[in-house]
Amino acid sequence: MGWFLLKLVRVLTGAQARWYGCPPQAEQRIYFANHQSHADLVMIWAALPHELRSITRPVAARDYWTKTPVREWITTAVFNAVYVDRERKGDSDPLLPLEQALASGDSIILFPEGTRGDGEEPQPFKSGLYTLALKFPHVVLVPAWIDNIQRVMPKGEVVPVPILCSVTFGAPVRVEPGEERRAFLDRARAAVVALRDV
């Protein structure tokens, strides 16, 4: 099924990967990108080489991706997704599943906006990326810009439209010594936006 989805995504989008500032190599990474469509996690997954797909888990919103048995099966059996609860319940920590995945050696695909945007500019990044970067300083943080995917699967639509899309991966960033949370998040967001015109 994974092979079929990969071929389907590549037919619909081209799933072109462009690497600037870092090669596609098998090291533990957090890929963080703009978020405009539910197809974003599929797009990045399909753009990665096979050896990176096998060690990289997309972060998926539990409330959306477990709503139907088909969605849940795809994200569990095909993508091995890390589910995150977007609405806190009690004292639960929404980052805990991501921390467990990173602690076990997996790479992850993260959308720091936390929800889909509806414009050309990403929304301000939420604090999760900063928290993970501090807890896992050895993990390489790779920004990515997903282009055109919102036109393949516009909000509210269920039938995808074939459009050429790409994912541009940029030079890694890191939290500098003493860097405050908002300064880092703004800089990380700027690194993603800068890839739009590369």
Q: What is the mean pLDDT of residues 163-185?
A: 90
pTM over 0.85: no
C-alpha to C-alpha distance for 80 and 184, rounded to whole angstroms: 29
Structural tokens at position 53: 């797909």
Residue 116: pLDDT band by 50, 70, 90 thresholds?
low
Residue 86 confidence (pLDDT): 73
* Per-residue pLDDT at 9 exceeds 70: no
Domains annotated on the chain, with CATH? 1-150+161-194 (3.40.1130.10)
Beta bridge partners of 61: 84
What is the bridge-based pairing of β-strands 140-147 and 166-169? antiparallel
Count of alpha carbons within 13 angstroms of residue 112, beta-carbon side: 32
| Residue 112 CB partners (closer than 8 Å, separation 6+) | 32, 125, 126, 128, 129, 185, 188, 189
C-alpha to C-alpha distance for 7 and 2, rounded to whole angstroms: 9
Structural tokens at position 86: 């977007």
Residue 46: pLDDT band by 50, 70, 90 thresholds?
confident
In which residue are the tokens 């990967």 written? 17
Structural tokens at position 1: 């099924």
pLDDT above 90 as % of the chain: 44
